[in-house]
Amino acid sequence: MDKEKKIKPQLAGGFRDYGPEEAAVRGRMFDSIKRIFELFGFIPIETPGVEREEVLTGGDADFSKQIFRIAERNENDPLALRYDLTVPLARFVAQNQSKLPWPFKRYQIGGVWRAEQPQAGRYREFIQCDADIVGSSRVSADAEIIALAHETFSALGISKFLIRVNTRKILNGVAELAKFPPGKIPDVLRAIDKLDKRGWDAVERELEKLGGDVKLVKKVLDIRENNQKKALVSVRALLEDSWAATQGIDDLEKIADLLESLGVPAKSWKVDFSVARGFGYYTGMVFEIVLEDVPLIGSVGGGGRYDGLVNRFSSINAPAVGFSVGIDRLYKACEELGIIKSKQLSEALVLNFEPECETYCAEIVAGLRSAGVCAQLYLGNEESLKGQLSYAVKNNFNIVIIAGSDEKKRGAMQVRNLAERSQFEVSKDEAVRRISKTSLLKMSKFMK
């Protein structure tokens, strides 16, 4: 009996595993996202999970509390885990600009870490899928990123999503015309951003504390039009005295035209003046994607223009715009929508119930695989044919191959279709020849 002390098999608080069913679905999601990113001409890079703390925080000691720091090493130059992929991209660009195609359209899929208090449904590690264009200040780059978001979500099989688009230029213009103190503008944006979650009354209370013309803000946020161009005409009338806002409205009009040309349907996006996005680094267009059937889950992706971030590291001119998919929230949303289909992981199981036939069964497995069939040799503890058959049923195999000493003598095997309860015998060589033309499952339907 095993009496030695066991280590508790437990996850770190706030971290999670993805079991085989979830991980298989997520794997397909990543593949689909990669395919669209590449179709749009984005190229991959990989940066490490660990960076110099100063790179991540920009020297902001407050920010250090939100990241995981590495213990005990490099006390003079401490290390930490990245909390997003955007700041490391800015570091990478500053370091390698002369070697990169320019504009530099890169994508990256990787883990990020945030030192949040563990709470239900909120994790400290998650995967981000980011695509960014660095080195272009053109409004068409903004439109390309929104079109990319549209195509990415379409390819994922999500039908009812809405891309809510705004620009920081309009928000800054509103704050300026409403005479909020310049130092309070980040707070004004943060308050406005909560409209969707908390409603106007809560936003109003917060804005009133910040000391500006709350009525102007309300007028802007009240603009609701089905036609996005009309919404822009209305907001232009309210904000024509602000140069920043006027610039922003010009941008959004151009974006509206380009989105139409790029094939983004009018129903998939709208102008929404309450969208601000959390990160401080945004300077222009901002957007987020919400799923209309699961609004409570919040945004499942978003992005925007951040023209100054690379300047944290370098004086090069590197205006940038990007987009990030929140795959964890998205997965949760897809679960709630019931659009997750679990994947058949293996088509065929080759039973293995007579030790003297094991090499023969191994030959069959190898033959099936070389014909492209995902096939497994039974490797469990059941020794009887009956026990191994139950295992095949329990684990949802389509096809079971039975090859004992009789079949071995004849150079043959039994192919059993579990769903149709049909079975036929076929010679080992013929099976492989035929399977390369059709699927094993089709063949079993045909030959019963």
38-57 binders of a copy of itself (CB under 8 A): 38-41, 43-52, 54-55
Nearer to a copy of itself, 23 or 202 (CB): 23
CB of 139 to a copy of itself, least distance (A): 9
Q: Taking CB under 8 A as the rule, does residue 135 contact a copy of itself? A: yes
Shortest reach from residue 114's CB to a copy of itself, in Å: 11
Candidates 29, 33, 79, 232: give the one binding a copy of itself (CB under 8 A).
79
Give the distance, in angstroms, between the CA of residue 200 and the centroid of all CA atoms in the same chain.
30
Binders of a copy of itself in range 309-348 (CB under 8 A): 311-315, 345-346
DSSP run (H or E) holding 185: helix 185-193
- Least Cα distance to 196 among 221, 178, 217 occurs for 221
Q: Specify the pairing of strand 320-326 against strand 348-350.
A: unpaired
Residue 359: helix, strand or coil by DSSP?
A: helix
Q: Answer yes or no: are the C-beta atoms of 161 and 290 closer than 8 Å.
A: yes
Tokens encoding 310: 């690379």
Tell me how crowded residue 175 is: count the other CB atoms within 10 A of its CB: 28
Q: How many Cα neighbours within 13 Å face the side chain of 153?
A: 31
Sole binder of a copy of itself in the list 174, 189, 217, 258 (CB under 8 A): 258
Kind and range of the H or E element at 430? helix 428-435
Can you tell me the distance from the alpha carbon of 287 to that of 270, in angstroms, rounded to the nearest whole number?
Answer: 10
Q: Which residues, 150 to 189, sit near a copy of itself by CB under 8 A?
A: 151
Q: CB 82 → a copy of itself: shortest distance, Å?
A: 10
Q: Report if residue 359 touches a copy of itself, rule: CB under 8 A.
A: yes
Task: Judge whether 323 and 131 are in contact, CB under 8 Å.
Answer: yes
| Interface segment toward a copy of itself; rule CB under 8 A; list 208-216, 244-252, 253-261, 270-278 | 253-261
Select from 271, 252, 282, 39 the least CA-distant residue to 139: 252
Which of 29, 33, 85, 94: binder of a copy of itself (CB under 8 A)? 94
Closer CB to a copy of itself, 59 or 295, in the complex: 59
Q: Which residues have CB under 8 Å from 188's CB, separation 6+?
A: 171, 175, 180, 207, 210, 212, 217
Q: Does 279 bind a copy of itself (CB under 8 A)?
A: no
- Region of 90-98, 155-163, 166-174, 239-247 interacting with a copy of itself (CB under 8 A): 90-98
The residue from 217, 360, 402, 443 that contacts a copy of itself (CB under 8 A) is: 360
Using CB under 8 A as the binding rule, the residues of this chain from 3 to 42 that contact a copy of itself are 6-13, 15-20, 22-24, 26-27, 31, 34, 38-41
Q: Which lies closer to a copy of itself via its Cβ, residue 213 or residue 363?
A: 363
299 vs 352, which CB is nearer to a copy of itself? Answer: 352
Residues 100-119 that bind a copy of itself (CB under 8 A): 100-103, 105-106, 111, 113, 115
Site string for a copy of itself, 375-394 (x = CB under 8 A): xxx-xxx-------------
State phi, psi for 284 to the nearest 5 degrees. -140, -125
Those residues whose C-beta lies under 8 Å from the C-beta of residue 158, and which sit 6 or more positions away, are 291, 330, 334, 337, 339
Q: What are phi and psi of 73, to 5 degrees?
A: -115, 155
Q: Least distance from C-beta 407 to a copy of itself, angstroms?
A: 15
Query: Least separation, in Å, of the C-beta of 79 and a copy of itself?
Result: 5
**Per CB under 8 A, which region of 212-220, 294-302, 368-376, 438-446 contacts a copy of itself?**
368-376
DSSP annotation of 119 reads B
